[in-house]
Amino acid sequence: MKYRHELKHDITTADMITIRQRLRAVAKPDEHAVDGKYLIRSLYFDTPSDKALLEKQSGVSRRQKFRIRYYNGDKSVIHLEKKCKVGGLGCKISANLSQEQAQSIVDGEISWMKDSKDELIRELYSRMVSERLSPKVIVDYTREPFIYGPGNVRVTLDYNIRTGLRNTDFLNTECITIPAAHGICIMEVKWDEFLPEIIKDAVQLPHGKTGSFSKYEACRLPMIEPRSTSYID
Domain locations along the chain: 4-223
CATH class, domain 4-223, is alpha beta
pLDDT tens sequence across 4-51: 999 999 899 999 999 999 999 999 999 888 899 999 999 999 999 999
Q: Measured between alpha carbons, how far is 81 from 114 in angstroms, rounded to an integer?
A: 17
User: What integer pLDDT is reported at residue 171 of this predicted model?
Assistant: 96
Q: Taking residues 134-138, report their average pLDDT.
A: 97
In this predicted model, which residue has the larger pLDDT, 112 or 205? 112
| DSSP secondary structure, 17-67, as one string | HHHHHHHHHHSEE-TT-BTTBEEEEEEEEE-TT-HHHHHHHHT-SEEEEEE
Residue 32's pLDDT is 83
Give Cβ neighbours of residue 57 (< 8 Å, ≥ 6 apart). 217, 227, 229
Rounded CA separation 194/17 (Å):
25
**Nearest one of 92, 97, 98 to 156, comparing CA atoms:** 92
pLDDT at 127 over 90: yes
What distance in Å separates the CA atoms of residue 42 and residue 88, rounded to the nearest whole number? 23
